[in-house]
Structure 1
Amino acid sequence: MVTIEKLGILLSPTEFNFENSGVFNAGIYQEGSILHILYRAVEHGNFSTIGYAKTEGPLSITERNEQPLILREFDYEKHGVEDPRIVKIEDTYYITYTAYDGVNAMGALATSKDLVHFEKHGIITPHVNYQEYEDYVNCCGGKKLNPKYHQYYNLFAQIGLVDDENRLLRDKDIVLFPRKVNGKFVLLHRIWPGIQIVQFENWSELTEAFWEDYLKNLIHHIVIDPKDYFEVDYIGAGGPPIETEYGWLLIYHGVQETTTGKIYHAKAALLQLDKPEIELARLPYPLFSPSKPWEIEGVVNNVVFPTGHALFGTDLYIYYGVADRHVAVAKCDINELLTELRKQS
């Protein structure tokens, strides 16, 4: 087992209207000893924007904006810009987030040179309804997929929504690798219930034709599917993968279905450095689970939801949303975690 130290809550809601209901699921970008924190800020009525805070070291908040950093601007995000992740590749910050229009939750992209001015690039994930999705995945190997890949389609078919042109494929937990691999951008995303990978040279490649071909071959793009008891319901990527000598360390969440409801756990896996589509190992148990009062009870109970991290020496600080209410921090030794993962390979 990996030794985990939970360090408590780092950020909580304030009296400001834009974040008076929840502050959680923060993307982290580390610049030396400084952390830039882009967090989901929720106001009453479940409308989300992205807030900003900065630390010196892993835990000391030195700055926090009193207004959102990134606003809701377009119809595709009119209900929320949610759960940001952030990397910097060359001279550009890439912020991936879930755009929520009140019905659909899809992956979107914004970029910045300075974390002050942002350019939005719209939806970057497949723009298809569930009938189209089902037709594509059944074309080429759909019957070999985990049956849960068909579960939303089956549900919507039962209630007559499968042909609804306005109800689109849900695609969340959009996470970029922190550098190009073999000259390509590499992106993880979650078409329920697993984690899939996309590799491309230019963002302009992500066309309707690209995604049609991708979905027809979806089974070949799955990196990690639910496997053990603690992630049997579904999984999703956390922060950007961490490059180590043994592979890409991925912290992700796994959801366990119980008789009293879902429990979100933090999990860990290792992907191959030069072929990140290959899983080398994963922990067969949670890295950590809800155990503190603020993790067990909140807007959504029993949730630890990792979305960012920072390294100070060998101390790996994991920043995670708790119960859709706060941002909390846990710490472990990265070498101990890697040793434990390598035992599983």
Structure 2
Amino acid sequence: MSKLSALGGEAAGAAVESRPFPWQDRPAGCDEVVWRHSENPIIPRSPFPGVQGIYNSAVVPFGEGYIGVFRTEKRTRFPLLHVGRSPNGLEWEIDPEPIEFANFESAPNHYAYDPRVVEIEGTYYISWCGGHNGPTISMASTQDFQTFERLENAFLPFNRNGVLFPRKINGKYFLLSRPSDNGHTPFGDIYVSQSPDMTHWGVHRWVMGRGGDEVGQWWQRTKIGAGPIPIETPDGWLMIYHGVIDTCNGFVYSMGAALLDLDEPWRVLHRTDQHLLTPEAEYEVSGHVPNVVFPCAALVDEPTGRLAIYYGAADTCSCVCYAKLDELIEFTKNHSAVF
């Protein structure tokens, strides 16, 4: 089995063997490279009283199970982050109170949504879209998911989809993002930035752009954004991302994948020329925001090459789908259009 850098590490000190991996085999008769969990959504829209949406959230291995940072919305529809815990990655208990940051005074305009989580050298870093004079990439760190230290925002407004790489590259931290605007951005490409200290970010490089008529890629013609933490493979960094098309009935969010160079992650080696998963199930096409498949986290079982991808559905509930890592890499290489 190839060397992998999956999400999360062993900072909690538990043996990997004691942690069950969330998984269902490919259904009989299915020839898709990615398939849905049969009991989706794994977290319904109201996991505890007063909540009407929980979606676009992050999951990592922790201890003998899994821990997550979840986007929730109560009846104010104001997004906040909550910690969740699971023994198997499928059954979740969500903390009813949102995360509080020990060194940060909250304010009414400090919203938080669409988090990602990664372990780097024993510390867990959380990135999300935070509201500080407009949306940008906010960050925090934790060792135990009980106390959280706010870090400086990575960028000026406006920016979204901040996704850290799971290790330093040539001694630097790397962060994917999508510069945007203050609204529901009708445009957007993926960029990568680097930092020596997780505070000062620069060397901003374009990674890849949206599709369109000239490349025949309508499913991602409006905007794209990085999803889960990139997965390190011998073929490059596997970056699962979302692509958006603007239709006469609104935006449609689908899932794609790309392979980035291991040492120069702004170089795209391969990129799927078709979506891997698009809104088709009832819980994806119907909800607060219809027609959304929004991947935010991925887990890899290294011995078996199994891949579990967590995604938000219709901006309402939390779901999971599956793939075999080697199959997904081969599909990406064999069905590729780099532009």
Q: The TM-score by the shorter chain falls in which range?
A: 0.7 to 0.9
Task: Name which of 196, 209, 228 aligns with 1:225.
Answer: 209
> Equivalent residues in 2 for 1:102-181 (5 A)?
104-126=134-156, 169-181=157-169
Contact 2:47–2:94 (Cα < 8 Å) also in 1: no
TM-score (norm 2): 0.80
1:314 aligned partner, one-letter code: G
Partner of 1:202: 197
User: What's the counterpart of residue 329 of structure 2?
Assistant: 338
1:253 to 242, 259, 263: 242
Q: Does 1:243 align with 2:232?
A: yes
The answer (yes or no) to whether the contact 1:230–1:285 under 8 Å persists in 2 is yes
Fraction of identical pairs, as percent: 30
**How far is the alpha carbon of 1:2 from its aligned partner?**
4.3
Q: CA deviation at 1:73?
A: 4.2
Question: Greater helix percent: which structure?
Answer: 1
Q: Distance in 1 between matches of 2:219 and 2:252?
A: 8
How far did 1:93 drift? 0.9
Task: Tell me by how many angstroms 1:33 deviates.
Answer: 6.0
- Is 2:316 the counterpart of 1:325? yes
- Residue 66 of structure 1 and its aligned partner are, at CA, apart by 2.5
> Matches of 2:199 and 2:152 in 1, distance apart?
12
Aligned equivalents of 1:204, 1:262: Cα separation in 2: 34
Letter in 2 for 1:189: S
Per the alignment, in what secondary structure is the counterpart of residue 287 of structure 1?
coil
Asked if structure 1 preserves the Cα contact closer than 8 Å seen for 2:161 and 2:227, the reply is yes
Letter of the 2:239 counterpart: L
Look up the SS of the partner of 2:81 in the other structure.
strand
Alpha-carbon RMSD across the aligned residues, in angstroms, is 2.0
Give unpaired runs (5+ residues) of structure 2.
Answer: 1-30, 181-187, 212-216
- Could you tell me which amino acid in structure 2 is paired with residue 199 of structure 1? Q
- Aligned to 1:42, the other structure's residue is in SS state strand
How far apart are 1:32 and its partner, in Å? 7.3
Change (3 A) 1:39 1:285: same
Q: Which string of whole-angstrom CA distances, capped at 9 and with x for unpartnered residues, describes residues 250-307 of structure 1?
A: 0110001112211000111110111111100110111100011110011101001000
Could you say what secondary structure the match of 1:336 adopts? helix
Deviations 1:184-239 (A, max 9, x none): 10000111300100012123423xxx5xxx6xxx6xx1101112211100011101
> Secondary structure of 1:335's match?
helix
Q: Structure 1: 5+ residue runs without aligned partners? A: 127-168
TM-score, normalised relative to structure 1: 0.78
Letter in 1 for 2:192: I
Q: Provide the residue aligned with 2:58 in structure 1.
A: 27
Aligned length: 287
Match of 1:268 in 2: 257
Deviations 1:153-175 (A, max 9, x none): xxxxxxxxxxxxxxxx4200001
**Does structure 2 retain, via aligned residues, the 8 Å contact 1:2–1:336?**
no
- Alignment of 1:191 with 2:182, yes or no, is no
Q: 1:123: Cα distance to partner? A: 2.0
Deviation at 1:70, TM superposition (A): 4.2
The amino acid across from 1:336 in the alignment is E
The answer to whether residue 31 in structure 2 is matched with residue 43 in structure 1 is: no
